[in-house]
Amino acid sequence: MNREKHCERVKMQIVFRSGNTDSLLDSFGKAAIKQGRSKEEIESVLKDCLSGDYNHVLTVLMDHTK
């Protein structure tokens, strides 16, 4: 599948902290803000995450993190 990149990759380690999508999305958002990503870029990634199931969330986050 060819995924659109919404923004430059965010440096963050995806750790299955609680196995909870809210925790993962919150961690991504905080890391992206700290690294100067725009609100629009972050919202685009989060919207994509929420368009599928848990596996989709993980796939999108892996595509947008390093």
Q: Quick one: pLDDT at residue 15?
A: 62
Residue 16 in any domain: the answer is no
Residue 51 in any domain: the answer is yes
**Residue pLDDT, tens place only, 8-21:** 788 877 765 556 88
Residue 56 in any domain: the answer is yes
Residue 12 in any domain: the answer is no
Range of the domain at 42: 21-63
Q: Which two tokens stand for residue 46?
A: 């989060």
Q: pLDDT band at 66, cuts 50/70/90?
A: confident
Res 6 pLDDT > 70: no
Residue 6 in any domain: the answer is no
Residue 49 in any domain: the answer is yes
- Full-model pTM: 0.79
Q: Which residues contact 52 (CB under 8 A, 6 or more apart)?
A: 60
**Residue pLDDT, tens place only, 22-60:** 989 999 999 999 999 999 999 999 999 999 998 899 899
Residue 11 in any domain: the answer is no
Number of independent structural domains in the chain: 1
Residue 2 in any domain: the answer is no
Report the Cα–Cα distance between both ends of the chain, in Å, rounded: 19
Confirm if 64 and 7 have CB atoms less than 8 A apart: yes
